[in-house]
Amino acid sequence: MKTNRSKKGFTLMELIIVIAIIGILLSVMIPTWGYFITKSRERNANSKAKIIFTAAQTEITRIAARERTMDADDQYITNGDFYFYSHNGNGAKCNADGSALSDTDNAKYAPSNASFGRAVARIADEEGFYKIFVHNYIVQSVIYCNVESGRYKGTYPMTTDQLSEDDLDTVRSGDVNEMNMSLMVFRTEEGA
């Protein structure tokens, strides 16, 4: 007696073809997916840097109004360059290379550091690591990252999309507190 059995399932050749097609699709999608994740994280960090930029400028405007009547020795920001580095809400005025000021200057600026840090945090409501560069009471640039030496940093007013490849590599590989803040400042025709 003969039974009529129909074959069900895939042949070995059909399975190999399906697996090959899936492999090709994954080899195309995975690098693209990584690119989009990187860009998304950098855009998010750029928007946080913009918020901090605006908050810092608001507070510096208030400080500038107070300092107009003060002696130059008593001013916190002063005309010229000012750098402020904050890590998870604890901020301090620092040197351009991110190094701490002398113990004497740290003691002198401690109340102002705390006040400035609180004011920016209150407005920006951001935790993380950021460095602010101010020249003549005008915020020039901000860099932000949720981790001190994380790869996904945000910058403002020049966002990471606007940086050259070399500058972008420098930003991605460096620590926030050691960052050269002039990388994120728009350059004029004269190169300033």
Structure tokens given for 152 = 């996904």
Q: What is the pLDDT of residues 142-169, one digit of tens each?
A: 999 988 888 899 999 988 888 889 988 9
> Using alpha carbons only, what angle is made at residue 137 by residues 131 and 139, rounded to the nearest 5 degrees?
40
Does pLDDT of 76 surpass 50? yes
Q: What is the pLDDT of residues 12-36, one digit of tens each?
A: 999 999 999 999 999 888 888 888 9
Instruction: Answer whether 97's CB lies under 8 Å from 178's CB.
Output: yes
Does pLDDT of 120 surpass 80? yes
Q: Output 50 or 67, whichever has higher pLDDT.
A: 50
Q: Output 167 or 3, whichever has higher pLDDT.
A: 167
Choose among 114, 113, 109: nearest CA to 74.
Answer: 109
Number of other residues whose CB lies within 10 A of the CB of residue 159 = 17
Choose among 153, 155, 159: nearest CA to 172.
Answer: 153
What pTM does this model have?
Answer: 0.79
- Domain positions in the chain are 13-184
- Supply the pLDDT for residue 191: 43
